[in-house]
Amino acid sequence: MKRVEVHPGREAIVEFDPGLTFECVDDCTWCCQHGVLLYEEDFANLADYADLAETTTSFRGEEFVRREGKDREEHVDEDGAACYFLRDDGLCALHAEHGWKPTRCSIFPLAVRKRDGDLRVDVRESAREHCEGLDVSERRLIDNLEAFLPELLWELDDPDTRREL
Ligand code: SF4
Ligand code: SF4
C-alpha cells in the first residue's frame, strides 16, 4: 500500500500494484454496458443534460443511470443492453455532446471506498476480469490518479463504487 497525494492536500491509499498501467482500448466499451452509480452531485448535474425520469433509476436507495436494450449487436452486453447514454458509435453521448460524464465513469477501472477516514483506491474486481486496457501501455495508473479521482470523492461520506445496479 502506498499513500499518494492526488490533488493538493488530498491523499489516497493505493492498494493496487504501483507498476500497473492503463490505456483505454478503442471500441471496447465494456464498462459502458452497465448501470452507472450517480453521486448526489452527479444526479444534480445530469439534470442539465437529460430527463432524469427517463434516464435514471433508483435501486437500494441509490440513483443510477439506467441500462436499456439497444437495437444493435455491437457495444452491448450479453443481454443486448448497455448504459442509456452509450451511442451506436460506441461513444458516450454525455461526454461527446456535453463534455461531461458521471464521476463513476471517470474512476473506472478503479474502485474507491473510505475506511478509517482514508480514501482507498484499488482496481475493480470486474475490471481485472474484463477491462482490456490494463497493462497494455506505459502509462502507470499511480502517476495519473488525478485523471481518475475527482476531488469530489474526498468530500463524500461514502464514495464506495462497489454499489452497482
Ligand atoms: S454515462 Fe457515458 S461514460 Fe458513463 S457508462 Fe454511460 S456511456 Fe459510458
Ligand atoms: S473496460 Fe477498460 S478498456 Fe474497455 S472501455 Fe472500459 S476502461 Fe476502456
Write the pLDDT tens digit of every residue in 142-163: 999 999 999 999 999 999 999 9
Whether 164 is covered by a domain: the verdict is no
Whether the Cβ atoms of residue 65 and residue 85 lie closer than 8 Å to each other = yes
pLDDT, average across residues 53-79: 96
Whether 160 is covered by a domain: the verdict is no
- Probe residue for ligand 2, chosen from 23, 27, 29, 30 as the CB with the greatest number of ligand atoms within 8 Å: 30
Whether 162 is covered by a domain: the verdict is no
pLDDT, average across residues 111-129: 96
Whether 149 is covered by a domain: the verdict is yes
Domain of 39 in residue numbering reads as 2-155
pLDDT, average across residues 89-94: 97
Whether 165 is covered by a domain: the verdict is no
Whether 148 is covered by a domain: the verdict is yes
**Alpha carbon of 39 to ligand 2 centroid (Å):** 21
Whether 161 is covered by a domain: the verdict is no
Whether 111 is covered by a domain: the verdict is yes
Residues near 8 by Cβ (< 8 Å), separated by ≥ 6? none
- Three-state DSSP at 6 gives strand
User: Into how many domains does the chain fold?
Assistant: 1
Average pLDDT, the chain: 96
Residues near 3 by Cβ (< 8 Å), separated by ≥ 6? 11, 12, 13, 14
